A and B are shown apart, each in its own frame.
Chain A
Amino acid sequence: MPAAPAPSDADLILAVLERADRGAFAQLVVRHQSQVRTVLRRLTKGDAALADDLAQETFVLAWRNLKAFRFEARFSTWIYRIAFNAWQSEARKKREVLMEIDDEAPPPGSHAFEEMPDVAARVDLERAMATLSDGERAAIAACYYGDLSHEEAAAALGIPLGTVKTHILRAKAKLKARLAPPEKSP
């Protein structure tokens, strides 16, 4: 007999809303914990303990506010928005989070990226991400780690779509430059 298909996120959310089913919510946490924690680790520049604290806060807030979930959006989009807000609140306690476009030009050497050998895939991506501005890092985290479209990322981050696109372009230019191998001396 074939195993029953795993319940969808929507089924689990309904179970939580109708019966306060903690088991269903636990399944949602297990299903989404990796991506939420990864996004937050990238946002917190690799601070795993802080990222896990924020991820926990994110899921607790999701439990408390699940009745506000609108089923038109994916659960992941909705929970990333909570995670981004948690990160922004935490960051604001320490300093201002700047989601505006950073006018700093990407460092020289970005052209070398196309020649990047495979071994370069092992470079410390986390450190390279830490050099991005808050807005650039958030946009990359949303679109690549959160697997959100640019439109979804704009909604989740609360910034205009054009700003998201600009952040992505600039972040990628900076990352390419950071991850490229040093140019060989003649």
Chain B
Amino acid sequence: MTDRLDEILRNDAQHALPDAGFSARVMRALPAPALRSRRWLQPALILGSALAGCLLAVLLAPAEAGITQGFADLMHLKLFTPAAIAGLAMAAALLVSAVVLAAEAD
């Protein structure tokens, strides 16, 4: 038996829905072209800003607040020395950048 139900289902499936503006609506909902073609820009800006901030912190920090000294202070649980605060700030800046980039990747 040729399945009558098959025929009904296939006829129903072949019924073409008129576009009625649907495709235009989809195209309007797509992300802006500039964002798509330069996807590297946003991560580069975020990471660049974080690294520039870290570099400035290293350059402008007092001599006794060097980054190596800061991490040494942190290892000895001296959290509030200028060097330790500079180290924590750098780590926080890089952490925030990583979180932002991870959120964007989703």
Contact B33 A22 (CB under 8 A): yes
Chain B CB within 10 A, most for which of A38, A116, A175? A38
Interface residues on A, range: 20 to 34
Nearest neighbor of B26 in chain A, beta-carbon distance: A59
Count CB-based A-B contacts (< 8 Å).
73
Whether A113 touches B5, Cβ cut-off 8 Å, given contacts A33-B19, A63-B30, is yes
Determine if B25 and A38 form an interchain contact, defined as CB atoms under 8 angstroms apart: no
Q: Are B19's CB and A175's CB within 8 A?
A: no
Q: A6: CB under 8 A from chain B?
A: no
For B, the interface residue count at a CB cutoff of 8 angstroms equals 26
Please name all residues of chain B whose beta carbon is closer than 8 Å to the beta carbon of A59 when the two chains form the complex: 26, 29
A20, A114, A121: the one contacting B33 at CB < 8 Å is A20
Tell me the minimal C-beta distance from A150 to chain B in angstroms.
Answer: 14
CB atoms of A113 and B4 under 8 A apart: yes
Show 27 A/B contacts (Cβ-Cβ < 8 Å), sorted by A: A20-B36, A22-B27, A22-B33, A25-B27, A29-B22, A30-B23, A33-B22, A35-B13, A37-B22, A59-B26, A59-B29, A60-B26, A60-B29, A60-B30, A60-B31, A113-B4, A114-B4, A116-B4, A125-B9, A140-B9, A144-B9, A144-B10, A145-B13, A147-B13, A172-B5, A175-B5, A175-B9
Other A-B pairs, 5, CB within 8 Å; known A29-B23, A60-B30, A144-B9: A20-B36, A26-B27, A64-B31, A144-B6, A176-B5
Q: Which 7 A-B pairs have the closest CB atoms?
A: A144-B9, A34-B17, A145-B13, A59-B26, A29-B23, A34-B16, A30-B23
